[in-house]
A and B are shown apart, each in its own frame.
Chain A
Amino acid sequence: GQNIDQPTEMTATEGAIVQINCTYQTSGFNGLFWYQQHAGEAPTFLSYNVLDGLEEKGRFSSFLSRSKGYSYLLLKELQMKDSASYLCAVVDSNYQLIWGAGTKLIIKP
């Protein structure tokens, strides 16, 4: 079967750095997405990785290792507004999006 694993919940301190991991087992791979979802709101696109390595976009970076079936989302200089759920999603060989359950990130002052 296809599976995306993320931690259920993480807590971090304002101003710090946090890394949210995602491991996947899917039938084929055509890219990995990270989405941010604030409570009661729709998910919004954060990043996309299709090749191995690090993609940096401001305070957020996303890393991919296809051989390990592994990605992480790195958030720097955490702000209170970063409190949200972070969803990992993989495009499989049929170009279907497989979603993880999301990681709820709690930022404390």
Chain B
Amino acid sequence: SAVISQKPSRDICQRGTSLTIQCQVDSQVTMMFWYRQQPGQSLTLIATANQGSEATYESGFVIDKFPISRPNLTFSTLTVSNMSPEDSSIYLCSVAIGRDIVGELFFGEGSRLTVL
């Protein structure tokens, strides 16, 4: 397993501002992901954070809006840029620990953002 710390746990932001979410893992992991979960909806993968290279974004998500850093194997940041009320959501960092089971993920506590 892995212990994943995310901060901030929640924040209220003004429209047009940007916020950076940090994710710290207690062990080195290869696969780290950023998800968004809007109220009552499924988890949506934003991107895979790659160490030493640019993140891999899913359809509908772009680097200018959600820049991601991954300076090492234990840490990543996600920035939500130029926020609008539609960005109000829970943002979750998750990691896959090297196992035979593809898809067994461990999640951080999440960062609940409210954009006014």
Contact = CB atoms under 8 A, between A and B. Distances in A.
Interface of A: 4, 30-31, 33, 41-45, 48, 87, 89, 91, 95-97, 99-102
A42 B42 contact: no
A99 B103 CA distance: 11
B41 interface: yes
Given A30-B103, A31-B103, A44-B107, 13 more contacts: A31-B101, A33-B104, A42-B110, A43-B43, A45-B105, A45-B106, A48-B103, A89-B43, A89-B103, A96-B45, A97-B105, A99-B42, A101-B41
Contacts of B103: 30-31, 33, 48, 89, 91, 95, 97
B110 to A, nearest CB: 5
A102 B103 CA distance: 17
A100 B109 contact: no
Interface in B66-116: 92, 101-110
B102 A42 contact: no
Contact of B107 (A33, A43, A95): A43
